[in-house]
Amino acid sequence: MITGNYPNLRLRRSRKNDWSRRLVQENSLSSSDFILPIFLIDGKNIKQSIKTMPDVYRYTIDKLGIIVDRAIKSKIPMVALFPYTNKTKKNEIGSEALNEDNLVCKAIRYIKKRYKNEIGIMCDVALDPYTSHGHDGLIKSGYVLNDETIEVLINQSLLQAEIGCDILAPSDMMDGRIGKIRKALDKEGHEMVQLLSYAVKYASSFYGPFRDAVGSKGLLKGDKKNYQMDFRNSNEAIREVALDIKEGADMVMVKPGMPYLDIIKTVKDNFKIPVLAYQVSGEYSLLSNSIKKGLIDKNSVLESLIAFKRAGANAIVSYYADRIEDLIK
């Protein structure tokens, strides 16, 4: 029988009521914490479901208003554009990336004309949606070339900036590309265009549904391990981020998200720079399919997103972004 005042401190006191739990909660979510990815497709009047990503769609340019209106209504700060490039437009050098009338460029024009600066636009800087081999750069003898790829990425960045992209997000993992792109942007009068570097992008098995969404599934020859990070490494992430900050990155991304919460925390603790997490397609589809099958309940989504904030992420790229208000409620 326990008597007296034992224990003196009862941590459960603050957990007894909902109001007290809310009073002392350490992390919270709002729509301002999110970036909504949008997949684009050629054609007219199409909203196309993506088989591997439940409740996520590809939109033709004339249908973009559906999803952008929803994002603005939910007070989401930014959308991220990703194209489903027709195979007939893909080639070894990804030349469609430099076409001023490609899907991404058309979408930037549409959003800027219709919405002005009501919402920010983030554009991927990489060649994998445009190459016939599915890699993020130019290839020679099976190896992705670094410096030659950067020259193409510079031109892709300048094109997107000229049309009106607010945040360029190089996701290619080529060494030195942030410094080269920053220098080129400043030289051409785009010094206010921000750079979000995918500084810590792992060669991961969680990207499968995304490759389906952008039309590169089945095209990839080999793997991306000679330029994306080894998932066994964490100290290397610090070196990658340090280099990109020195070269001019305004923000950095850690991708994937949930299996790399320790990396998010390490980066934030070491650099105090805005850190973004990408809850990638594989994470999203695992959660969504498990919820649909009744294996877990929908609160698991909120739990996974809070984990990013707890680790130190300033914002989250998530396919749940346009439904976040309902999830929070």
User: Mean pLDDT, 10 residues at a time, over the chain (329 residues)?
Assistant: 74 91 91 97 96 96 97 96 95 97 98 96 96 94 95 98 98 98 98 98 95 86 92 97 98 97 98 97 97 95 96 97 86
Residue 163: how many other CB atoms lie within 10 Å:
17
- The predicted structure's pLDDT at residue 264: 98
Helix, coil or strand: residue 120: strand
pLDDT of residue 328: 81
pLDDT of residue 324: 87
Where are any strands of DSSP class E within the chain?
Answer: 34-40, 47-50, 53-59, 78-83, 120-125, 139-140, 143-144, 167-170, 194-201, 251-255, 275-278, 315-317
pLDDT score at 217: 79
How high is the pLDDT of residue 1? 62
Mention every residue, 6+ apart, whose C-beta is less than 8 A from residue 222.
142
pLDDT of residue 4: 64
Q: What percent of the chain is helix, strand and coil (3-state, nearest 5)?
A: 45, 20, 35
> For residue 82, what are the β-bridge partners?
39
- What does the alpha-carbon distance between residue 51 and residue 295 come to, in Å, rounded to a whole number? 20
As a whole number of angstroms, the distance between CA 327 and CA 298 comes to 8
Helix H or strand E segment including 69? helix 64-73
Phi and psi torsions of 326, nearest 5°: -65, -40
Strand 167-170 vs strand 194-201: parallel, antiparallel, or unpaired? Answer: parallel
Question: Looking at residue 218, what is its pLDDT?
Answer: 77
2 phi-psi bin (left φ>0, alpha ψ -120 to 50, beta other): beta
Pairing of strands 139-140, 143-144: antiparallel
| Amino acid in position 30 | S
Would you kindly state where each structural domain of the chain is located, as residue ranges?
Answer: 29-328
**Angle ∠(19,20,26) on CA atoms, nearest 5:** 110
Q: Is 96 annotated as a binding residue?
A: no
- Length of the chain in residues, anyone? 329
- Among candidates 165, 145, 146, which has minimal Cα distance to 156? 165
Q: Which residue has the tokens 């998530």?
A: 318
Q: And the tokens for 156?
A: 């892709």
Residues with a known catalytic role = 201, 255
Q: Are 261 and 268 in contact (CB under 8 A)?
A: no
Bridge-based pairing of strands 47-50 and 53-59 is antiparallel
Query: Distance (Å, rounded) from C-alpha 215 to C-alpha 123?
Result: 17
Distance CA 261, CA 277 (A): 9
Residue 281: how many CA atoms within 13 Å on its side-chain side? 23
CATH number assigned to the domain covering 29-328 = 3.20.20.70
